[in-house]
Amino acid sequence: MKRKTARKPSTFFPRKRLGQHFLIDKNAMEKIVRVADLDPADVILEIGPGRGEMTMLLAQKSQRVMAVEIDRVLASQLVDKTASLRNVEVICGDALKVDLEAMSRHTEKRMKVVANLPYQISTPLLMRLVSFRCLFSSMVLMLQKEVALRAVAKRNTKAYGSLSVLLQVYTTPTIEMLLPPNCFFPRPKVDSALVRFLVHKTPKIKIDDEQALWRVVRAAFGHRRKTLKNALKSILPEARFSEEVGRAMENVKIDPTRRAETLSLEEFARLTDGLRPYLSSLGSGS
Ligand code: SAM
């Protein structure tokens, strides 16, 4: 397919620090909008609209676009560019800090997130979006390919880790498209992938204590080559560990000699249930 290419910015110097790699492949932009599956009642949160080319496409298909851009120059250019559109609101701010709940007040429906993310903050942004998941029905995100592979990774693979578990407990992620560096200007050093996350209203597994689950998952993958018994030592009081905790794991039918990457979501939930009495005796911990 012939690639339609947008004009490269001539008067603006992209800021690497802000992950400014603008999408210049028009076919990819159109595909992103198709994957977002918009209807006229949708309210969209766009993170990092940059020069606003996708913002314009999104505005044609939805009720409202709220575009959060940290770069003041780009944000003010986008305000001018969208002055004639009544359904675009440009918010100059940090997507890691903006008040997402206040934004959601514009709609009864859950919002849709669409973004070509600044890759250097994609993991904390993903964490933040997931922590506000009740506000969103889907997220269509451009990510560094390696992060996308971690998002969709299945157990018993190298890419399966705490990010896979976190995302897959609350969403169903699918890779929709791979993009080489020449789809962007300036070219990033890495390949990219578009991922659609369908956000679930309730988690895929039963979670009694969310904080405990994340402590167990992080600790288990913190030393992924170690057995669970050894990897989890960092969050279990040493003195009481060995036999008692080993028995607790066996009680929930998790072999303590397994490694984190072999556990399914449901097994992580069970493991957490088995270890909770020991975790609760700790303070903050890792
Ligand atoms: N959406 C545009 C496109 O596809 O061409 C630009 C994407 S560029 C990869 C990332 C954009 O996110 C840049 O415009 C950058 O200034 C902005 N950005 C970086 N960090 C941000 C943050 N913390 N909050 C909001 N925007 C951010």
Give pLDDT tens digits for 98-112.
999 999 987 889 999
Q: What distance in angstroms lies between residue 49's CA and the mean position of ligand 1's atoms?
A: 6
Query: Residue 135: pLDDT band by 50, 70, 90 thresholds?
Result: very high
Q: 106-120, 149-163, 204-218, 225-239: which range is least confident on average?
A: 225-239
* pLDDT reported for residue 4: 47
Domain edges within the chain: 16-199, 210-281
Write out the E strands in the chain: 22-23, 43-47, 64-69, 88-92, 111-116, 136-144, 171-179, 184-185, 192-199
Q: What is the pTM of this model?
A: 0.92
Report which ligand 1 atom has the smallest distance to the Cα of 95: 24
> Is the model's pLDDT at 7 over the cut of 60?
no
Which atom of ligand 1 is least distant from the CA of 23? 5
CATH topology of domain 16-199: Rossmann fold (3.40.50)
Using alpha carbons, select from 27, 22, 29 the residue that is nearest to residue 4: 27
Among protein residues, the one whose CA lies closest to atom 1 of ligand 1: 49
pLDDT tops 90 at residue 258: yes
Mean pLDDT of the chain: 91
Q: Homologous superfamily of 210-281 in CATH?
A: rRNA adenine dimethylase, C-terminal domain (1.10.8.100)
Q: How far is the CA of 100 from the centre of ligand 1 (A)?
A: 17
CA of 117 to the centre of ligand 1 (A): 6
CA quadruple 163, 164, 165, 170: dihedral sign: positive
Res 6 pLDDT > 50: no
pLDDT tens digit string along 14-59? 888 899 999 999 999 999 999 999 999 999 999 999 999 999 999 9
- Residue 142 is predicted with a pLDDT of 98
What are the phi and psi torsion angles at 53 (to 5°)? -65, -40
- Please give all residues whose beta carbon lies within 6 A of any atom in ligand 1, as ranges: 18-23, 47-51, 54, 68-71, 74, 94-96, 116, 118, 121
**Interval between CA 243 and ligand 1 midpoint (Å):** 51
